[in-house]
Chains A and B, each alone.
Chain A
Amino acid sequence: MQFETMSEFITMDGHGLYVWLSYGIGVSIIVGNLVLPLFKRKELMKSLARRLRRENNTQ
């Protein structure tokens, strides 16, 4: 561990804002790239299932 106290870890010798802003952006882009396709899959499966049911009913 390079930091003695929690506040030292957060301020990063005055570079805290830059470091934490970068990591905030980085982590949200990573999480977004994993969560968005999963949501899209759910939606896609729902709409395709609805279409399939409709087709089965009309036959």
Chain B
Amino acid sequence: MAGSSWLPRWFFQLASPRWCYDITGKLLPGFFVAAILLVVAGVVWALAFAPPDYQQGNSFRIMYLHVPSAILAQSCYMLMAVAGAVGLIWKIKVADMVAYACAPIGASIAVMALATGAIWGKPTWGSWWVWDARLTSMLILLFLYMGVMALYAAMDNESMAAKAASVLSLVGLVNIPIIKYSVEWWNTLHQPATFTLTEKPAMPIEMWLPLLVMVIGFYCFFSVSLMLRLRNEIIRRERRSGWVRELIASK
């Protein structure tokens, strides 16, 4: 592999569990501080300072959790599928570990998006749940995460489990554009996208800014959680190697 120069060096460094463990150890504190600051500031801003919606009143404050969690649940799925594909193609163990670490985080974030959506739906639509295209495809995303987790749990052989889970997550990738375009392809109760970076936002700036803070905060939180889980998994799988033994002995 060293002969193929079209891939940059960091790509192969990423393949080294030890290098990954060290670099995530350096990145963690910064991301942790950023995540705490942004999420706390975003929550306070969303709850107390953002102006109420002229139609929905204060229930619209749920949006500041609902939209970032829905965005993150889909990004996390894409990362899981891409990491799984990298693991399948280049046989990189760290990529398998990233995919493995993504699944439980993504599942819990999908639960957050669905739960906050249901709670928001009750005062807004008068119903906790409707079998609308957006809601149904989001529920399928949660089931895909659960399927991936079940595959990891069911197989004792780690490389076999990683292969099976990667294939499932790659097949399930077709659901991501379905979620994105569901509000355009079908007549849905769900409103179209409220948060875009490329177009002029559909809401006033004092409503949009706290949302931006929350979205960035959620990404920081996700990277912290992912790095914590990844480091655990690196230690667990590399427990027989010299550097992990030294690490444990030094504690």
Q: Footprint of B on A, CB under 8 Å?
A: 1-3, 9, 12-16, 18-19, 21-23, 25-27, 29-30, 32-34, 37-38, 40-41, 44-45, 48-49, 51-52
Residues of A within 8 A of B123 (CB): 15, 18
Residues of B within 8 A of A23 (CB): 43, 47, 65
Given contacts A23-B43, A25-B116, A27-B43, contact A2 B48 (CB under 8 A): yes
At the interface with chain A, which of B5-13, B136-144, B151-159, B231-239?
B231-239
For the complex formed, measure the closest distance between the CB of B247 and the CB atoms of chain A, giving whole angstroms.
9
Query: In the bound complex, do residue B116 and residue A26 qualify as a contact, i.e. CB atoms below 8 Å apart?
Result: yes
At the interface with chain A, which of B51-59, B92-100, B166-174, B178-186?
B51-59
A-B contact pairs, 12 of them (CB 8 A): A1-B49, A9-B48, A18-B62, A18-B120, A22-B115, A25-B116, A25-B119, A41-B228, A41-B232, A45-B248, A49-B248, A52-B245
Residues of B within 8 A of A49 (CB): 248-249, 251
We find that the number of chain B residues with CB closer than 8 angstroms to chain A is: 42
> In the complex, which of the residues A32, A34, A51 has the most CB atoms of chain B within 10 Å of its own CB atom?
A34
Residue on B with the closest CB to A27?
B43
Given contacts A22-B120, A33-B108, contact A13 B58 (CB under 8 A): yes
Q: CA of A16 to CA of B59 in the docked complex: distance in angstroms?
A: 8
Q: CA of A23 to CA of B115 in the docked complex: distance in angstroms?
A: 10
Residues of A within 8 A of B108 (CB): 29, 32-33
B91 within 8 A of A: no
Query: In the bound complex, do residue B116 and residue A30 qualify as a contact, i.e. CB atoms below 8 Å apart?
Result: no
Given contacts A1-B49, A15-B58, A23-B47, contact A38 B248 (CB under 8 A): no
